[in-house]
Amino acid sequence: MRNHIIRNHMVTYLMPIIAVMALGVCAPRADAEELLVFVSAFAADEEGAIHAYRLDVATGTLQLLRRTTDVEYPFFLAFAPDRNVLYSTHAQGKFGGAAHEHVAAFELVGDAGELKLLNRQSTRGSASCYLEVDATGKAIVVANYGTGSVASLPIRPDGSLGEIATFVQHEGSSVDPARQKGPHAHCAVISPDNRFVLAADLGLDRVITYRLDAATAELAPGRPAFVRTPPGVGPRHLTFHPDGQRVYVINELANSITYFEYDAEPGLLIERQTIPTLPEEFDGISYCADVKVTPNGRFAYGTNRGHDSIAVYRVAADGTLSLVEIEPSLGRGPQNLAITPGGELLLCANMPGNNLVVFQIDSQSGGLTPIGEPASMPSPSCIMIR
């Protein structure tokens, strides 16, 4: 185990393939496929677009196919289960302003990244920052960071959106006077069995549980209604382990990841471990953003914005995490991560760094090695792999 290792990223990036293999990194499969990748550019006007790339899994090469520009400040994306409709947040004119923002639905046309706008619906909130579609493709949930609320909307048979079915305004505050004066819902994640929505509220230091009726797209309070995190940690994003029995929450303000055991019957979270994302010697300013687990459940990754790195963890049989390394993200402000379906590659969106970086995942250690050339684009904020 290589605790708190920060690689010299310029040396690593320039390594020839033979040196990479000598380090024990598995070479990409010779028969690896190409994947369609959508990345949101979090900006206004013409710069605020959804970029479609073709990813060569063998080489890590990203080829820009097209840009869809009839969306502004597309902070977050989500696919329908069949991957034929893509949903995006949309903030006309200003993100996090007084006006309510929207969810936009786009039909995928062909296999070259073309998107056709179906419709938009209001989120009844500001700084809409997270979307997720349920397993039946009949409901979508959205988290509104600015106004601290969660909403659910029905999805019509053609993929377009109906008006809000349930709207819940969070109430309260926590201990950080700068960041926690009020609620700030930062994600809304649907459980693998499609029965619950877990919403991390950074402003309240809570993960709030809702029961989901996918057929009607309605939410109801869970029992228990929420789990508290330690004061001031600021839970931001969460992800389920592939086994459905564990949840990992990344804490933006505390720079840590908390592992919860998940009891699927009542939708109950039981805290088991909290582990830092930064090296002990770091004394600068940094804030976490995203957390992801590989499809085989063996490794987890968390991003550090400020330290500009990705923390790599091994997942033990009991769900606990142990640090493998902390790898430079090769750009400022790593915002969002995505892992290819086969678990070969990890993609990182460095939002203020204006680039998208592809890393190869070592199948034995989970360690990361950059491959291919970083793709330059304005303010990448969310990555979705078709």
> Which single residue is written with the structure tokens 């769900």?
319
Could you tell me the two tokens for 300?
A: 């987890």
Confidence (pLDDT) at 47: 86
| Distances from the Cα of 233 to the Cα of 2, 176, 253, 274, angstroms | 26, 9, 5, 11
Write out pLDDT tens, residues 343-355.
Answer: 999 999 999 999 9
Q: Is the pLDDT of residue 115 over 90?
A: yes
Q: Is the pLDDT of residue 6 over 90?
A: no
Confidence (pLDDT) at 45: 83
Q: Count the neighbouring beta carbons within 10 Å of the beta carbon of residue 7.
A: 18
Confidence (pLDDT) at 335: 98
Residue 11 lies in a domain: no
Q: For residue 182, count CB atoms less than 10 angstroms from its CB and return exposed for 0-12, middle for 13-18, buried for 19 or more.
A: middle
Q: How far apart are CA 78 and CA 74, in angstroms?
A: 11
Residue 224 lies in a domain: yes
Q: Is the pLDDT of residue 148 over 60?
A: yes
Write out pLDDT tens, residues 287-317.
Answer: 999 999 999 999 999 999 999 999 999 999 9
Query: What is the rounded average pLDDT of the residues 176-200?
Result: 98
% pLDDT > 70, the chain: 92
Q: Count the neighbouring beta carbons within 10 Å of the beta carbon of residue 69.
A: 14
For 6-58, the DSSP string reads B--HHHHHT--HHHHHHTTPPPPPTT--EEEEEEEE--SGGGS-EEEEEEETT
Tell me phi and psi for residue 323, to 5 degrees.
-70, 135
Q: Is the pLDDT of residue 21 over 70?
A: no
Question: What number of residues does the chain have?
Answer: 386
List all residues 6 or more positions away from 102 whose beta carbon is below 8 Å from its beta carbon: 89, 90, 91, 92, 120, 121, 122, 123, 128
Contact assessment for residue 172 and residue 231, using Cβ atoms and an 8 Å cutoff: no
Q: How far apart are CA 341 and CA 35, in angstroms?
A: 10
Contact assessment for residue 25 and residue 362, using Cβ atoms and an 8 Å cutoff: yes
Q: Is the pLDDT of residue 1 over 80?
A: no
Residue 10 lies in a domain: no
Q: How far apart are CA 56 and CA 29, in angstroms?
A: 11
Could you tell me the two tokens for 290?
A: 């995203």
Query: What is the rounded average pLDDT of the residues 71-80?
Result: 97
End-to-end CA gap in the chain: 33
**Total structural domains within the chain:** 1
Residue 22 lies in a domain: no
Q: Place 375 in a pLDDT band, splitting at 50, 70 and 90.
A: very high
Q: What is the largest CA-CA distance in the chain?
A: 56
Residue 8 lies in a domain: no
Query: Between β-strands 309-315 and 345-350, what pairing exists: parallel, antiparallel or unpaired?
Result: unpaired
Residue 13 lies in a domain: no
Looking at this protein, which amino acid is placed at residue 153? L
Confidence (pLDDT) at 44: 86
Confidence (pLDDT) at 26: 40
Q: For residue 220, count CB atoms less than 10 angstroms from its CB and return exposed for 0-12, middle for 13-18, buried for 19 or more.
A: exposed
Residue 315 lies in a domain: yes
Confidence (pLDDT) at 11: 34
Query: What is the rounded average pLDDT of the residues 283-290?
Result: 97
From 2-6, 306-310, 360-364, the region with the lowest mean pLDDT: 2-6
Residue 353 lies in a domain: yes
Query: What is the rounded average pLDDT of the residues 312-338?
Result: 98
| Structural domain boundaries enclosing 359 | 40-385
Looking at this protein, which amino acid is placed at residue 163? E
* CATH assignment of the domain containing 167: 2.130.10.10
Residues linked to residue 150 through DSSP beta bridges, in sequence order: 143, 168
Rg (CA), the chain: 20
Confidence (pLDDT) at 78: 98
Say how many CA atoms lie within 13 Å of 127 toward its Cβ. 11
Confidence (pLDDT) at 17: 33
Q: DSSP label at 131? A: E
Q: Place 264 in a pLDDT band, splitting at 50, 70 and 90.
A: very high
pTM as predicted: 0.91
User: 275: closest CA among 236, 315, 240?
Assistant: 315
